[in-house]
Structures are given as C-alpha cells and as structure tokens.
Amino acid sequence: MSLYDKIPNNVDLSRDERLKRALEKWQPSFVNWWMDMGPEGYQNDDIYLRTAISVDAEGWATYDHVKMPDYRWGIFLAEEKGDRSIGFGDDATRPSFNEVPGEYRNVLRRLIVTQGDTEPASVEQQRRLGHTCPSLYDLRNLFQVNVEEGRHLWAMVYLLHAYFGRDGREEADEMLARRSGSADKPRILQAFNQPIDDWMSFFCFTHFVDRDGKYQLAALAESGFAPMRRTCRFMLTEEAHHLFVGETGIGRVARRTAQLMKQDPNGDARAQGGIPLDIVQRYFNFWFSYGLDLFGSEISSNASDAFGAGLKGRFREMDKYTDHAITNDMMELDVIRDGRVVKEAVPMRNALNEVLRDEYARDCERALNGWNRILAEEGCSQRLRLPDRKFHRHIGSYAGQWFDPEGRHILDEREWEAVKKAALPSEEDYAYVRSLMVPVTQPGAFANWISPPQKGINGQSIDFPYVKFVRS
C-alpha cells in the first residue's frame, strides 16, 4: 500500500514509472476540473469524510474532517485470493486475463469509457446543491458522494491509462472535457445530462441512478478481465452509501410529508410546507424511467458480445447461476411489432440488458414497499408506485412509443401530451420544490420538508458538526 505517494494506490504504481508519470500528468487536470465543476462554494470547509486508505476492513473507511481538495483520491483494487478462471461466456474455463486480448479491446474500452463518464457527470449535476442543504448531515452526505464519484473516475482512468496506451490517455482527457447537459459535448448517457437542481431530485438520482451503478458495477465485478473485476468490487463497497443516501432520503421525505398531512386540517402537506405525494410520484415517474433506460436496449448484440467475451456477466453470475454459457436459453420479451405490443422469444444472451434491468426493477420495488410502510406507520392511506416499465422510455423497444404509467399503449399524440403533463414533474412542481430549498446549517436542525435520519454517520450524533465552515 502506497498511501503517502502523490497518488495513493495499491497497484504498485511506483514500480511502473511510465504509467505513474502519465497519471501524474492527468492529476492536475483532474484537480482543475474538480475546482471548476465540483461542489461550488465549499472547497475551503472542513467536511467529515470517509476516505479509503486501504482495501481491508479497517482501512477502507477512515473518518476525519478534511477539506475536499485534500481528499486522497486513490487507485484501489480489491484483493483476490488465488487464480481465477473467466467464469462465463465462450471461454469460461480459461484463466482470467490480466492484459486486454486484442479482439476484445474495443468492447472493453467502450464499457470502461461509458462507466467512467457517469462519475464526473454526476458531480457536475450536483454541484450547486450545497447552497440549499436541508441539514449539515445531508450536506456532508452530498460531499461524500461527490468525492467518491471523483474516485470512481480515477478507477476507470487508471484502467484506461494502464491498459489502453495512447487511446486510453485520450479517452481519459475526454472524461474531463465532456460536460453534463452541454449542447456540444454532453455526457454519454441521458440520465447524466438531466439537471439536479433540488434535493428531491438528488435523492431520486442517488436512489434510481446510482442504483443502476450498483447493478452495472456488479455485472462488471464478475469480469474475466481481472483489473476491471477488482476495481469494480471495491467501488461497490463505496456505492452502498450512495444508495443509502437516496433510499433513506426519500423515506425521510415520505415520513415528513405524512406527518404534515396529519397536522393539516385538510390533509394538505403543501399547506404545511411539505412536498406533496403527487409531486414525489411525478419525480419517481421521471427518474425511474431514466434509470431503466440506462440498461440499454432489451435486445442487444453489445450485451451478447460482452457476455460471450467474458467481460460483463449477470448480477451475481458466479453465486446465482450454474449454467454460465447460456447458449440455448431463450427469454420472452414484450416488443413492438406493427405498432402493437407482442411477446417475442429472444436468445438469452441478447436479452441480458433486460435480465439486469429485472434485477434493478425488483430492487426498486423492495425500496418502494419500505417507503409505503413508512406512510402506513404515519397513518397515511395514500401509496407511492413505480410507473410501468414501458412509460417514458428513450432507449430500447419502447422508445418512440407512448405508454401511460399503468402501461397502457397510447396511440393518439394529444392523449399522450395530456398523460405526460399529468405524470411528469411540471415547471410549477420544480418551482415549488425549489421554493422549499432554504439552507439549514445549524448542527442538528433540519428543513421542515424532511424528517431527521434515524442515526448519524459513523456512530456520531445527529447534531454532530458534520461540516465546519471556515470563514475566509
């Protein structure tokens, strides 16, 4: 472990002078990007952050007050015992590889670039949220997520520099050149070009979009390319907190809204300064549909190729399945033929995006049940839902078709306009939610629209000074 190197790492960077020099050249560009596009206005403050200083149980989560620019962004690969075989696909029994086989170079580079691009994108999307934080606890969580997404970018840039030579270095530079929401150099995937201008959007993003990250990383953590597998394993340990922030954030909003409804003579949360459940529902409709898009087309030769090559597996491929070749299985999918939804059997390998999306959707249902339990506990009889998977899709079979949140196929454009208006957040919804976003920065105090968490971070109390402002 070379923690005190310029670039903390457990990949023996000091033994590879060329790679080290290349990464040390990229590092100042990263820091410039962070100062320009990272959290706006808080770079000088002391934040109670978790930093990875090693990959073992003691070292991976060290907590201290640090300034974000001093966070030690490092390169950490999970340790592995013994040699492994590839595990799945066409070469399942062959030893897993430590270099990139020439024939897989393009597929692999594309996966790494797509994964890597999402990390800085999310930091860009979230950069102004600090100014409207509902508490110091939440402010600290935002920054924790942001610095770790920065580290995830480092993880992918390491792979590009170490295994893809000159093209890899060019791709690494491009990671810092694209910008979320930019008209001429946007981020690659659509969810990462959507604005996140309020904390309800932030919680929905960390719940629904970081959760795509969990499933994609888990699929890549099965990879026969050992450095990819080990990098993603370690990223997943950090990812759990991002998902916690989203899921509990939404749960805390649901609880508070239900309480405010109870307080109000007309059961109106809005009259009490809360976020009404119909707005929460429209935010779900928006972010769940963008989350589903992130899994790619239902029928995908890219997915089949990545599986065949042993590069990207299924969720828990080695634990959950016995057949790792899947050459004969078929999967039945809803597809559109002649303007109608019909069932069609597709070779399983081509349907793997949908298989991963199923895992994701089940997990989203589980979380939804938890929020509905909170509403019930607080005596509220309304319930939240997830929209049908065909609703508001931009990628795959259902893109260019219209479905309502119940899954009904709509053929008339005017009807679709009306459905869309009722089901997605309006400008007025956004403006109302933004009007609630007033900063709360007294330790232990929380904005009116959200309830406090059940406990603090790392055993600290809820009123712990998670952020200490340094007046300059």
Query: Which chain residues interact with ligand BYC by CB under 6 A?
Result: 111, 114-115, 118-119, 122, 149, 189-190, 209-210, 212-213, 216, 293-297, 300, 302-303, 353, 395
Instruction: Give min distance, CB of 457 to ligand BYC, in A.
Output: 20
Cα–Cα distance, 410 to 42 (Å, whole number): 47
Q: Is the Cβ of residue 152 or residue 161 nearer to Fe ion in the bound state? A: 152
Number of DSSP helices (H) and strands (E) in the chain, helices first: 13, 7
Cα–Cα distance, 245 to 19 (Å, whole number): 35
Q: Is the Cβ of residue 186 or residue 273 nearer to ligand BYC in the bound state? A: 186
Under rule CB under 5 A, residue 152 binds Fe ion: yes
Under rule CB under 5 A, residue 187 binds Fe ion: no
Under rule CB under 5 A, residue 241 binds Fe ion: no
Which of ligand BYC, Fe ion, none is residue 304 near (CB under 5 to 8 Å by kind)? none
Instruction: Give min distance, CB of 383 to ligand BYC, in A.
Output: 27
Instruction: Give min distance, CB of 355 to ligand BYC, in A.
Output: 12
Cα–Cα distance, 450 to 132 (Å, whole number): 13
Q: Is the Cβ of residue 96 or residue 216 nearer to ligand BYC in the bound state? A: 216
From the list 55-63, 79-87, 144-152, 427-435, the region that binds Fe ion by CB under 5 A is: 144-152
CA torsion angle 382 386 387 390 (round to 10):
-160
Assigned token pair, 441: 């920065």
Q: Is the Cβ of residue 22 or residue 75 nearer to ligand BYC in the bound state? A: 75
Which of ligand BYC, Fe ion, none is residue 296 near (CB under 5 to 8 Å by kind)? ligand BYC
Q: In this structure, which amino acid lies at residue 247?
A: E
Residue owning tokens 């895992």: 359
Instruction: Give min distance, CB of 35 to ligand BYC, in A.
Output: 20
CA 290 vs CA 240, 265, 295, 365: distances in Å: 20, 37, 10, 16
Instruction: Give min distance, CB of 107 to ligand BYC, in A.
Output: 9
Which of ligand BYC, Fe ion, none is residue 198 near (CB under 5 to 8 Å by kind)? none
Cα–Cα nearest to 220, from 78, 120, 124: 78
From the list 66-74, 237-245, 261-269, 360-368, the region that binds Fe ion by CB under 5 A is: 237-245
Under rule CB under 5 A, residue 214 binds Fe ion: no
- Tell me the β-bridge partners of 70: none
Q: Is the Cβ of residue 201 or residue 272 nearer to ligand BYC in the bound state? A: 201
Q: Is the Cβ of residue 245 or residue 395 nearer to Fe ion in the bound state? A: 245
From the list 118-126, 244-252, 270-278, 388-396, the region that binds Fe ion by CB under 5 A is: 118-126
HSE (CB half, 13 Å, CA atoms) of 471? Answer: 0
Q: What residues contact residue 230 under an 8 Å CB cut-off, 6+ apart?
A: 77, 78, 79, 80
Angle between helices 277-293 and 226-263 (to 10 degrees): 170
Residue owning tokens 């295994």: 163
Cα–Cα distance, 127 to 129 (Å, whole number): 6
| 303 within 8 A of 296, measured Cβ to Cβ | yes
Please select the residue that binds Fe ion; options are 211, 242, 255, 390, rule is CB under 5 A: 242
Q: Is the Cβ of residue 209 or residue 258 nearer to ligand BYC in the bound state? A: 209
Q: Is 269 helix (H, G, I), strand (E, B) or coil?
A: coil
Under rule CB under 5 A, residue 222 binds Fe ion: no
Please provide the DSSP assignment of 417-454 as one string: HHHHHHHS--HHHHHHHHHH-----STT---TTSPPPS
Instruction: Give min distance, CB of 105 to ligand BYC, in A.
Output: 15
Instruction: Give min distance, CB of 353 to ligand BYC, in A.
Output: 5
Q: In this structure, which amino acid lies at residue 42?
A: Y
Q: Is the Cβ of residue 44 or residue 190 nearer to ligand BYC in the bound state? A: 190
Instruction: Give min distance, CB of 28 to ligand BYC, in A.
Output: 23
Cα–Cα distance, 7 to 22 (Å, whole number): 12
Q: Which parts of this chain interact with Fe ion (CB under 5 A)?
A: 119, 149, 152, 210, 213, 242
